[in-house]
Amino acid sequence: MNGLETEFDGKVTFVRLNAAQREVEQLQQQLGLRGHPAVGLLNSKGHLVERYFGVQSAETLRQRLQRLASP
């Protein structure tokens, strides 16, 4: 994700899901993620706090990840 995995290593866990895999379909529906690309940000308790659809800039995602990763 635009180098953000390296920047947030140890602070944020990144999980990539392949929308073409049937096993992933239920999770996508639960999170309300449709289309490609779609990004869901979950807090440390596993609650969805943000959804992005379509291509997002690294800066947009960085700002939100910084807030989520802050103690």
Q: Determine the Cα–Cα distance for residues 29 and 41; give it in Å rounded to an integer.
A: 15
| Residue 43 belongs to domain spanning | 4-69
The domain total for the chain is 1
What pLDDT is stored for residue 31 in this prediction?
A: 80
pLDDT along the chain (71 residues), means of 10: 84 83 83 81 84 87 88 69
Cα dihedral 64→67→68→71 (10° resolution):
170
State the DSSP string of 48-71.
EEEEEES---HHHHHHHHHHHH--
Q: What is the pTM of this model?
A: 0.72
- Could you give the C-alpha distances from 46 to 3, 31, 41, 54, 68, in angstroms and in order? 23, 11, 9, 22, 12
What pLDDT is stored for residue 34 in this prediction?
A: 79
